[in-house]
Structure 1
Protein backbone atom coordinates (compact mmCIF):
# COMPACT_ATOMS: atom_id res chain seq x y z
CA UNK A 1 0.00 0.00 0.00
CA UNK A 2 1.29 3.41 -0.87
CA UNK A 3 1.25 6.27 1.57
CA UNK A 4 0.31 8.51 -1.32
CA UNK A 5 -3.28 9.67 -1.73
CA UNK A 6 -2.99 9.69 -5.51
CA UNK A 7 -4.67 7.03 -7.63
CA UNK A 8 -2.47 3.92 -7.93
CA UNK A 9 -0.54 3.47 -11.13
CA UNK A 10 -1.57 0.60 -13.42
CA UNK A 11 0.60 -2.53 -13.07
CA UNK A 12 2.31 -1.97 -16.42
CA UNK A 13 3.43 1.50 -15.31
CA UNK A 14 4.91 0.14 -12.07
CA UNK A 15 6.89 -2.40 -14.06
CA UNK A 16 8.79 0.41 -15.74
CA UNK A 17 9.87 1.99 -12.45
CA UNK A 18 12.91 1.47 -10.27
CA UNK A 19 12.55 0.99 -6.51
CA UNK A 20 14.89 1.29 -3.55
CA UNK A 21 14.01 -0.97 -0.62
CA UNK A 22 15.04 -0.11 2.94
CA UNK A 23 16.45 -3.54 3.70
CA UNK A 24 17.64 -4.38 7.20
CA UNK A 25 17.85 -8.16 6.78
CA UNK A 26 14.78 -8.73 8.94
CA UNK A 27 11.48 -10.44 8.19
CA UNK A 28 9.51 -7.30 7.38
CA UNK A 29 12.10 -5.76 5.08
CA UNK A 30 12.56 -9.12 3.30
CA UNK A 31 8.80 -9.27 2.74
CA UNK A 32 9.03 -5.76 1.27
CA UNK A 33 11.95 -6.79 -0.93
CA UNK A 34 9.96 -9.71 -2.36
CA UNK A 35 6.94 -7.43 -2.81
CA UNK A 36 9.03 -4.90 -4.74
CA UNK A 37 10.76 -7.54 -6.87
CA UNK A 38 7.33 -8.81 -7.88
CA UNK A 39 6.29 -5.33 -9.08
CA UNK A 40 9.15 -3.21 -10.35
CA UNK A 41 11.59 -3.37 -13.24
CA UNK A 42 14.66 -3.00 -11.03
CA UNK A 43 15.14 -3.06 -7.27
CA UNK A 44 18.12 -1.90 -5.25
CA UNK A 45 18.53 -2.29 -1.51
CA UNK A 46 19.76 0.01 1.24
CA UNK A 47 20.85 -0.80 4.78
CA UNK A 48 21.99 1.39 7.65
CA UNK A 49 24.70 0.87 10.22
CA UNK A 50 23.69 3.10 13.12
CA UNK A 51 25.35 1.29 16.01
CA UNK A 52 22.36 -1.01 16.51
CA UNK A 53 22.63 -3.59 19.25
CA UNK A 54 21.36 -6.26 16.86
CA UNK A 55 24.07 -5.46 14.30
CA UNK A 56 24.07 -9.10 13.24
CA UNK A 57 21.17 -8.16 10.96
CA UNK A 58 23.73 -6.46 8.69
CA UNK A 59 25.51 -9.80 8.26
CA UNK A 60 22.22 -11.49 7.31
CA UNK A 61 21.44 -9.02 4.53
CA UNK A 62 23.84 -10.43 1.97
CA UNK A 63 22.80 -14.02 2.70
CA UNK A 64 19.15 -13.13 2.17
CA UNK A 65 19.95 -11.34 -1.10
CA UNK A 66 21.98 -14.32 -2.36
CA UNK A 67 19.29 -16.83 -1.41
CA UNK A 68 16.52 -14.82 -3.07
CA UNK A 69 18.55 -14.48 -6.27
CA UNK A 70 19.39 -18.22 -6.28
CA UNK A 71 15.93 -19.54 -5.41
CA UNK A 72 13.90 -17.04 -7.44
CA UNK A 73 15.81 -16.40 -10.70
CA UNK A 74 13.17 -14.06 -12.14
CA UNK A 75 13.57 -11.86 -9.08
CA UNK A 76 17.32 -12.27 -9.15
CA UNK A 77 17.40 -10.76 -12.62
CA UNK A 78 15.78 -7.61 -11.22
CA UNK A 79 17.88 -7.37 -8.07
CA UNK A 80 20.31 -4.52 -8.46
CA UNK A 81 23.03 -3.04 -6.29
CA UNK A 82 23.13 -3.03 -2.50
CA UNK A 83 24.13 -0.01 -0.45
CA UNK A 84 24.99 0.42 3.23
CA UNK A 85 25.22 3.88 4.81
CA UNK A 86 27.12 4.65 7.99
CA UNK A 87 24.75 6.51 10.32
CA UNK A 88 26.76 5.83 13.47
CA UNK A 89 26.10 9.41 14.58
CA UNK A 90 22.48 8.38 15.20
CA UNK A 91 23.65 5.74 17.66
CA UNK A 92 25.95 8.25 19.34
CA UNK A 93 23.14 10.72 20.06
CA UNK A 94 20.58 8.06 20.99
CA UNK A 95 20.02 6.63 24.45
CA UNK A 96 17.91 3.58 23.69
CA UNK A 97 17.80 -0.16 24.23
CA UNK A 98 18.53 -0.67 20.53
CA UNK A 99 21.80 1.24 20.66
CA UNK A 100 23.13 0.26 24.11
CA UNK A 101 23.16 -2.73 26.44
CA UNK A 102 20.18 -2.09 28.68
CA UNK A 103 16.92 -3.77 29.60
CA UNK A 104 13.98 -3.30 27.26
CA UNK A 105 11.13 -1.55 29.06
CA UNK A 106 8.37 1.01 28.68
CA UNK A 107 9.19 4.65 29.30
CA UNK A 108 7.11 7.24 31.12
CA UNK A 109 5.77 8.54 27.78
CA UNK A 110 4.30 5.11 26.98
CA UNK A 111 6.82 4.27 24.27
CA UNK A 112 9.26 1.37 24.62
CA UNK A 113 12.88 2.38 25.10
CA UNK A 114 13.67 0.59 21.84
CA UNK A 115 12.32 3.68 20.06
CA UNK A 116 15.20 5.49 18.32
CA UNK A 117 13.93 9.07 17.82
CA UNK A 118 14.09 10.24 14.24
CA UNK A 119 15.39 6.93 12.90
CA UNK A 120 12.88 6.39 10.11
CA UNK A 121 12.80 10.08 9.26
CA UNK A 122 16.57 10.01 8.74
CA UNK A 123 16.50 6.64 6.97
CA UNK A 124 13.94 7.79 4.43
CA UNK A 125 15.63 11.15 3.87
CA UNK A 126 18.94 9.47 3.11
CA UNK A 127 17.13 6.83 1.04
CA UNK A 128 15.42 9.51 -1.05
CA UNK A 129 18.77 11.22 -1.61
CA UNK A 130 20.29 7.95 -2.83
CA UNK A 131 17.21 7.09 -4.89
CA UNK A 132 17.42 10.47 -6.63
CA UNK A 133 21.02 9.78 -7.64
CA UNK A 134 20.28 6.18 -8.68
CA UNK A 135 17.24 7.03 -10.81
CA UNK A 136 14.68 5.36 -8.52
CA UNK A 137 11.30 6.97 -7.95
CA UNK A 138 9.92 4.54 -5.35
CA UNK A 139 11.03 3.97 -1.77
CA UNK A 140 9.76 0.80 -0.06
CA UNK A 141 9.80 0.38 3.70
CA UNK A 142 8.47 -2.16 6.19
CA UNK A 143 6.80 0.36 8.51
CA UNK A 144 3.59 -0.91 10.06
CA UNK A 145 1.05 0.49 12.50
CA UNK A 146 -0.98 -2.69 13.04
CA UNK A 147 1.33 -5.11 14.88
CA UNK A 148 4.04 -2.73 16.07
CA UNK A 149 5.69 -1.27 19.15
CA UNK A 150 4.00 2.11 18.95
CA UNK A 151 6.81 4.00 17.21
CA UNK A 152 5.40 7.31 15.91
CA UNK A 153 7.68 7.28 12.86
CA UNK A 154 6.08 4.02 11.70
CA UNK A 155 2.61 5.56 11.39
CA UNK A 156 0.91 6.19 8.08
CA UNK A 157 0.31 9.90 8.74
CA UNK A 158 4.01 10.43 9.45
CA UNK A 159 4.99 8.80 6.18
CA UNK A 160 2.34 10.63 4.15
CA UNK A 161 3.76 13.92 5.42
CA UNK A 162 7.31 12.79 4.72
CA UNK A 163 6.44 11.72 1.18
CA UNK A 164 5.17 15.22 0.46
CA UNK A 165 8.23 16.84 2.02
CA UNK A 166 10.69 14.65 0.12
CA UNK A 167 8.94 15.16 -3.21
CA UNK A 168 8.88 18.93 -2.71
CA UNK A 169 12.45 19.08 -1.44
CA UNK A 170 13.79 17.05 -4.36
CA UNK A 171 11.45 18.71 -6.87
CA UNK A 172 10.57 15.29 -8.23
CA UNK A 173 7.80 12.83 -7.33
CA UNK A 174 9.03 10.30 -4.77
CA UNK A 175 6.56 7.56 -3.84
CA UNK A 176 6.80 5.93 -0.40
CA UNK A 177 5.36 2.43 -0.47
CA UNK A 178 4.57 0.67 2.81
CA UNK A 179 2.99 -2.68 1.88
CA UNK A 180 2.84 -3.86 5.51
CA UNK A 181 1.31 -0.69 6.98
CA UNK A 182 -2.16 -2.04 7.69
CA UNK A 183 -1.57 -5.79 7.97
CA UNK A 184 -0.73 -7.99 10.94
CA UNK A 185 2.37 -10.14 11.32
CA UNK A 186 0.25 -13.19 10.48
CA UNK A 187 -0.85 -11.47 7.28
CA UNK A 188 2.80 -10.68 6.53
CA UNK A 189 3.58 -14.41 6.57
CA UNK A 190 0.54 -14.93 4.30
CA UNK A 191 1.79 -12.21 1.95
CA UNK A 192 5.19 -13.82 1.51
CA UNK A 193 3.52 -17.21 1.08
CA UNK A 194 1.51 -15.73 -1.81
CA UNK A 195 4.56 -14.08 -3.33
CA UNK A 196 7.05 -16.93 -3.12
CA UNK A 197 5.28 -19.96 -1.67
CA UNK A 198 6.63 -22.12 1.16
CA UNK A 199 10.16 -21.67 -0.19
CA UNK A 200 10.14 -17.95 0.55
CA UNK A 201 8.77 -18.44 4.05
CA UNK A 202 11.40 -21.08 4.72
CA UNK A 203 14.07 -18.67 3.50
CA UNK A 204 12.73 -15.96 5.81
CA UNK A 205 12.67 -18.26 8.83
CA UNK A 206 16.20 -19.54 8.21
CA UNK A 207 18.11 -16.49 7.02
CA UNK A 208 16.51 -13.24 8.23
CA UNK A 209 17.13 -11.61 11.59
CA UNK A 210 14.57 -9.66 13.63
CA UNK A 211 15.51 -10.22 17.31
CA UNK A 212 16.36 -6.96 19.11
CA UNK A 213 19.03 -8.69 21.20
CA UNK A 214 20.85 -10.11 18.19
CA UNK A 215 20.43 -13.71 19.36
CA UNK A 216 20.87 -16.41 16.72
CA UNK A 217 21.63 -19.34 18.98
CA UNK A 218 18.13 -20.80 19.11
CA UNK A 219 16.08 -21.74 16.04
CA UNK A 220 12.30 -21.54 16.43
CA UNK A 221 9.67 -22.44 13.85
CA UNK A 222 9.50 -18.75 12.94
CA UNK A 223 13.25 -18.19 12.86
CA UNK A 224 16.17 -17.36 15.12
CA UNK A 225 15.92 -15.14 18.19
CA UNK A 226 15.83 -14.84 21.95
CA UNK A 227 12.08 -15.55 21.94
CA UNK A 228 11.16 -12.94 24.54
CA UNK A 229 12.06 -9.47 23.24
CA UNK A 230 9.16 -7.47 21.70
CA UNK A 231 10.31 -8.22 18.15
CA UNK A 232 10.48 -11.97 18.79
CA UNK A 233 7.13 -12.00 20.55
CA UNK A 234 5.43 -10.22 17.65
CA UNK A 235 7.05 -12.53 15.10
CA UNK A 236 6.24 -15.71 17.03
CA UNK A 237 2.62 -14.73 17.64
CA UNK A 238 2.17 -13.80 13.99
CA UNK A 239 3.60 -17.12 12.84
CA UNK A 240 1.35 -19.08 15.19
CA UNK A 241 -1.71 -17.22 13.92
CA UNK A 242 -0.60 -17.78 10.33
CA UNK A 243 -0.20 -21.57 10.64
CA UNK A 244 -3.47 -21.82 12.59
CA UNK A 245 -5.46 -19.97 9.91
Structure 2
Protein backbone atom coordinates (compact mmCIF):
# COMPACT_ATOMS: atom_id res chain seq x y z
CA UNK A 1 0.00 0.00 0.00
CA UNK A 2 1.23 3.50 -0.85
CA UNK A 3 0.54 6.74 0.99
CA UNK A 4 -0.98 8.25 -2.16
CA UNK A 5 -4.67 9.10 -2.38
CA UNK A 6 -7.24 8.11 -4.97
CA UNK A 7 -10.64 8.99 -6.35
CA UNK A 8 -12.47 6.06 -7.97
CA UNK A 9 -15.10 6.59 -10.65
CA UNK A 10 -17.67 4.30 -9.08
CA UNK A 11 -20.91 3.62 -10.96
CA UNK A 12 -22.04 0.59 -8.99
CA UNK A 13 -21.15 -1.77 -11.83
CA UNK A 14 -18.90 -4.81 -11.83
CA UNK A 15 -15.91 -3.06 -13.36
CA UNK A 16 -15.94 0.03 -11.14
CA UNK A 17 -16.50 -2.08 -8.01
CA UNK A 18 -13.50 -4.21 -8.93
CA UNK A 19 -11.48 -1.02 -9.48
CA UNK A 20 -12.57 0.26 -6.09
CA UNK A 21 -11.32 -2.92 -4.42
CA UNK A 22 -8.08 -2.62 -6.41
CA UNK A 23 -7.64 0.92 -5.10
CA UNK A 24 -8.44 0.02 -1.49
CA UNK A 25 -5.63 -2.52 -1.58
CA UNK A 26 -3.14 0.11 -2.74
CA UNK A 27 -3.93 3.59 -1.45
CA UNK A 28 -4.02 5.12 1.98
CA UNK A 29 -7.20 7.12 1.37
CA UNK A 30 -9.81 6.37 -1.27
CA UNK A 31 -12.92 8.37 -2.13
CA UNK A 32 -15.58 7.57 -4.71
CA UNK A 33 -17.50 9.57 -7.28
CA UNK A 34 -20.60 8.70 -9.29
CA UNK A 35 -22.58 10.50 -11.98
CA UNK A 36 -26.28 10.85 -12.65
CA UNK A 37 -26.34 11.55 -16.40
CA UNK A 38 -29.93 10.55 -17.05
CA UNK A 39 -29.02 6.92 -17.71
CA UNK A 40 -31.95 4.56 -18.25
CA UNK A 41 -30.24 2.06 -15.92
CA UNK A 42 -30.27 4.60 -13.11
CA UNK A 43 -30.76 1.73 -10.65
CA UNK A 44 -26.96 1.47 -10.62
CA UNK A 45 -26.90 4.69 -8.59
CA UNK A 46 -29.37 3.27 -6.09
CA UNK A 47 -27.21 0.21 -5.33
CA UNK A 48 -23.93 2.13 -4.90
CA UNK A 49 -24.48 2.72 -1.14
CA UNK A 50 -25.21 -1.00 -0.63
CA UNK A 51 -21.89 -1.94 -2.22
CA UNK A 52 -19.99 0.55 -0.09
CA UNK A 53 -21.69 -0.81 3.03
CA UNK A 54 -20.81 -4.38 2.08
CA UNK A 55 -17.17 -3.51 1.40
CA UNK A 56 -16.86 -1.78 4.76
CA UNK A 57 -18.50 -4.65 6.62
CA UNK A 58 -16.69 -7.54 4.95
CA UNK A 59 -13.23 -6.01 4.54
CA UNK A 60 -12.44 -4.31 7.82
CA UNK A 61 -8.97 -3.25 6.69
CA UNK A 62 -10.62 -1.18 3.95
CA UNK A 63 -13.08 0.58 6.22
CA UNK A 64 -10.60 3.17 7.51
CA UNK A 65 -9.28 3.87 4.01
CA UNK A 66 -12.69 4.37 2.36
CA UNK A 67 -13.66 8.01 2.57
CA UNK A 68 -16.37 10.27 1.18
CA UNK A 69 -18.65 9.42 -1.70
CA UNK A 70 -19.57 12.15 -4.20
CA UNK A 71 -22.57 12.08 -6.55
CA UNK A 72 -22.52 14.60 -9.40
CA UNK A 73 -25.60 15.73 -11.34
CA UNK A 74 -24.76 15.52 -15.05
CA UNK A 75 -28.29 15.05 -16.36
CA UNK A 76 -27.61 17.79 -18.89
CA UNK A 77 -25.39 15.24 -20.67
CA UNK A 78 -28.34 12.87 -21.02
CA UNK A 79 -30.53 15.71 -22.24
CA UNK A 80 -28.23 16.45 -25.18
CA UNK A 81 -27.35 12.80 -25.93
CA UNK A 82 -29.41 10.86 -28.43
CA UNK A 83 -28.42 7.37 -27.29
CA UNK A 84 -29.89 4.08 -26.14
CA UNK A 85 -28.41 4.61 -22.68
CA UNK A 86 -30.20 7.92 -22.13
CA UNK A 87 -33.54 7.25 -23.85
CA UNK A 88 -35.98 4.37 -24.28
CA UNK A 89 -34.94 2.88 -27.60
CA UNK A 90 -33.68 -0.42 -28.94
CA UNK A 91 -29.96 -1.07 -28.73
CA UNK A 92 -28.41 -1.19 -32.19
CA UNK A 93 -25.48 0.03 -34.24
CA UNK A 94 -25.60 3.62 -35.46
CA UNK A 95 -24.61 4.79 -38.94
CA UNK A 96 -21.19 5.69 -37.54
CA UNK A 97 -20.54 2.01 -36.86
CA UNK A 98 -20.58 2.58 -33.11
CA UNK A 99 -23.26 1.02 -30.90
CA UNK A 100 -25.98 3.53 -30.03
CA UNK A 101 -25.14 2.95 -26.37
CA UNK A 102 -22.13 5.22 -26.89
CA UNK A 103 -22.68 8.49 -24.99
CA UNK A 104 -20.39 11.10 -26.60
CA UNK A 105 -17.89 12.68 -24.20
CA UNK A 106 -19.13 10.64 -21.22
CA UNK A 107 -15.78 9.38 -19.98
CA UNK A 108 -14.06 12.63 -20.92
CA UNK A 109 -16.53 14.59 -18.79
CA UNK A 110 -16.47 12.06 -15.97
CA UNK A 111 -12.70 12.26 -15.63
CA UNK A 112 -12.70 16.05 -15.95
CA UNK A 113 -15.25 16.41 -13.16
CA UNK A 114 -13.36 13.82 -11.12
CA UNK A 115 -10.17 15.84 -11.55
CA UNK A 116 -11.98 18.95 -10.31
CA UNK A 117 -13.14 17.08 -7.21
CA UNK A 118 -9.72 15.50 -6.79
CA UNK A 119 -8.08 18.92 -7.01
CA UNK A 120 -10.27 20.22 -4.18
CA UNK A 121 -9.98 17.06 -2.07
CA UNK A 122 -6.24 16.49 -2.52
CA UNK A 123 -6.67 13.18 -4.39
CA UNK A 124 -3.98 12.66 -6.99
CA UNK A 125 -4.92 9.30 -8.55
CA UNK A 126 -8.08 9.05 -10.66
CA UNK A 127 -9.17 5.46 -11.21
CA UNK A 128 -11.55 4.36 -13.93
CA UNK A 129 -12.72 0.97 -15.19
CA UNK A 130 -12.47 1.73 -18.89
CA UNK A 131 -11.21 -1.18 -20.95
CA UNK A 132 -9.90 -1.42 -24.51
CA UNK A 133 -10.27 -5.20 -24.60
CA UNK A 134 -14.05 -5.24 -24.01
CA UNK A 135 -14.80 -1.64 -24.85
CA UNK A 136 -17.67 -2.22 -27.33
CA UNK A 137 -16.11 0.19 -29.80
CA UNK A 138 -16.29 3.19 -27.47
CA UNK A 139 -13.47 5.57 -28.52
CA UNK A 140 -13.36 7.21 -25.07
CA UNK A 141 -12.34 3.86 -23.52
CA UNK A 142 -9.13 3.61 -25.53
CA UNK A 143 -5.75 3.76 -23.83
CA UNK A 144 -4.63 6.58 -26.16
CA UNK A 145 -7.69 8.64 -25.19
CA UNK A 146 -7.02 8.24 -21.48
CA UNK A 147 -3.33 9.07 -21.81
CA UNK A 148 -4.12 12.19 -23.84
CA UNK A 149 -6.71 13.30 -21.29
CA UNK A 150 -4.25 12.80 -18.43
CA UNK A 151 -1.81 15.14 -20.18
CA UNK A 152 -4.56 17.72 -20.74
CA UNK A 153 -5.72 17.58 -17.11
CA UNK A 154 -2.19 17.98 -15.79
CA UNK A 155 -1.47 20.92 -18.09
CA UNK A 156 -4.83 22.61 -17.59
CA UNK A 157 -4.86 22.31 -13.81
CA UNK A 158 -1.12 22.54 -13.13
CA UNK A 159 -1.46 19.49 -10.89
CA UNK A 160 0.05 16.02 -11.19
CA UNK A 161 -2.82 13.59 -11.70
CA UNK A 162 -2.35 9.94 -12.59
CA UNK A 163 -5.26 8.27 -14.36
CA UNK A 164 -5.11 4.57 -13.46
CA UNK A 165 -6.93 2.01 -15.63
CA UNK A 166 -6.54 -1.39 -13.91
CA UNK A 167 -8.81 -3.17 -16.42
CA UNK A 168 -7.50 -1.62 -19.64
CA UNK A 169 -6.03 -4.82 -21.06
CA UNK A 170 -8.27 -7.39 -19.32
CA UNK A 171 -11.22 -9.21 -20.81
CA UNK A 172 -14.29 -9.82 -18.65
CA UNK A 173 -13.14 -13.26 -17.50
CA UNK A 174 -9.87 -11.74 -16.33
CA UNK A 175 -11.83 -9.02 -14.51
CA UNK A 176 -13.72 -11.69 -12.56
CA UNK A 177 -10.37 -13.35 -11.83
CA UNK A 178 -8.89 -10.07 -10.62
CA UNK A 179 -11.76 -9.59 -8.17
CA UNK A 180 -11.24 -13.12 -6.88
CA UNK A 181 -7.51 -12.46 -6.49
CA UNK A 182 -8.12 -9.25 -4.55
CA UNK A 183 -10.99 -10.23 -2.28
CA UNK A 184 -11.71 -13.90 -2.79
CA UNK A 185 -15.21 -15.31 -2.62
CA UNK A 186 -16.45 -12.45 -0.45
CA UNK A 187 -15.73 -9.85 -3.11
CA UNK A 188 -17.06 -12.05 -5.91
CA UNK A 189 -20.29 -12.50 -3.93
CA UNK A 190 -20.62 -8.72 -3.54
CA UNK A 191 -20.22 -8.34 -7.29
CA UNK A 192 -22.85 -10.99 -7.99
CA UNK A 193 -25.40 -9.88 -5.42
CA UNK A 194 -25.02 -6.11 -5.45
CA UNK A 195 -23.26 -4.71 -8.53
CA UNK A 196 -25.30 -3.75 -11.60
CA UNK A 197 -24.30 -3.90 -15.27
CA UNK A 198 -27.53 -4.41 -17.26
CA UNK A 199 -28.32 -1.58 -19.70
CA UNK A 200 -32.04 -2.20 -19.16
CA UNK A 201 -31.79 -1.57 -15.42
CA UNK A 202 -33.30 -5.00 -14.73
CA UNK A 203 -32.87 -6.19 -11.13
CA UNK A 204 -35.71 -8.74 -11.27
CA UNK A 205 -34.03 -11.58 -13.16
CA UNK A 206 -31.36 -13.43 -11.18
CA UNK A 207 -28.54 -15.39 -12.84
CA UNK A 208 -25.38 -17.11 -11.62
CA UNK A 209 -23.44 -13.94 -12.51
CA UNK A 210 -25.91 -11.48 -10.95
CA UNK A 211 -29.08 -9.60 -11.85
CA UNK A 212 -29.99 -8.36 -15.32
CA UNK A 213 -32.17 -8.85 -18.36
CA UNK A 214 -29.76 -11.46 -19.71
CA UNK A 215 -30.12 -10.19 -23.28
CA UNK A 216 -28.48 -6.75 -23.60
CA UNK A 217 -24.81 -6.42 -24.64
CA UNK A 218 -23.71 -5.62 -21.08
CA UNK A 219 -25.39 -8.74 -19.70
CA UNK A 220 -23.99 -10.87 -22.53
CA UNK A 221 -20.46 -9.68 -21.81
CA UNK A 222 -20.77 -10.15 -18.06
CA UNK A 223 -22.32 -13.62 -18.40
CA UNK A 224 -19.77 -14.84 -20.94
CA UNK A 225 -16.89 -13.60 -18.81
CA UNK A 226 -18.28 -15.26 -15.71
CA UNK A 227 -18.73 -18.58 -17.53
CA UNK A 228 -15.22 -18.45 -18.98
CA UNK A 229 -13.73 -17.60 -15.58
CA UNK A 230 -15.61 -20.41 -13.81
CA UNK A 231 -14.54 -22.94 -16.46
CA UNK A 232 -10.96 -21.84 -15.98
CA UNK A 233 -11.24 -22.50 -12.24
CA UNK A 234 -12.65 -25.96 -12.88
CA UNK A 235 -9.61 -26.82 -15.03
CA UNK A 236 -7.14 -25.87 -12.32
CA UNK A 237 -5.36 -28.89 -10.79
CA UNK A 238 -6.36 -29.77 -7.24
CA UNK A 239 -3.66 -30.42 -4.65
State the TM-score bracket (shorter-chain normalisation).
over 0.9
SS in 2 for 1:41: strand
CA distance in 2 between partners of 1:141 and 1:60 (Å)? 18
Q: How high is the TM-score relative to the length of structure 1?
A: 0.94
The match for 1:93 is: 80
| 1:217 CA displacement | 0.4
Which structure has more relative contact order (CA 8 Å, sep 6+)? It is: 1
Following superposition, the deviation at residue 109 of structure 1 comes to 1.3
CA-atom RMSD, angstroms? 0.6
SS of the residue corresponding to residue 27 of structure 2 reads coil
- Give the 5 Å matches for 1:129-148: 129-148=116-135
Which of the residues 154, 161, 165 maps onto 2:148? 161
Structure 1 residue 170 displacement after superposition: 0.8
Q: Summarize deviations over 1:19-40 as a string: whole Å, max 9, x none.
A: 0000000000000000000000
**Post-superposition offset of 1:172:** 1.1
1:50 aligns with 2:37: yes
Partner of residue 236, structure 2 = none
TM-score scaled to structure 2, two decimals?
Answer: 0.96
Tell me the secondary structure at the aligned position of residue 103 of structure 2: coil
Q: 1:151 aligns to what?
A: 138
Distance in 2 (CA, whole Å) between partners of 1:157 and 1:90 is 23
For residue 239 of structure 1, report the CA deviation from its aligned partner. Answer: 0.2
Give structure 2 stretches of 5+ with no counterpart: 233-239
- Give the match for residue 170 of structure 1: 157
Give distance in 2, aligned partners of 1:19 and 1:150: 28
What is the alpha-carbon distance in structure 1 between the residues aligned to residue 153 and residue 135 of structure 2? 25
Q: Aligned ranges for residues 71-220 of structure 1 at < 5 Å?
A: 71-220=58-207
Counterpart position of 2:237? none
Aligned position for 2:228: 241
1:64-121 CA deviation, whole Å, 9 max, x = no partner? 0000000000011100000000001001100000000000001111100000000000
1:137-177 deviation digits (Å, cap 9, x = unpaired): 00000000102211000000000000000011110110000
Question: What corresponds to 1:5 in structure 2?
Answer: none
For the pair 1:59 / 2:52, whether they are aligned, the reply is no
Aligned residue pair count: 232
What is the SS of the residue equivalent to 1:161? helix
Which runs of 4 or more aligned residues in structure 1 lie more than 4 Å from their structure 2 counterparts after TM superposition?
Answer: none
Q: Which whole-Å CA distance do the structure 2 matches of 1:64 and 1:183 have between them? A: 23
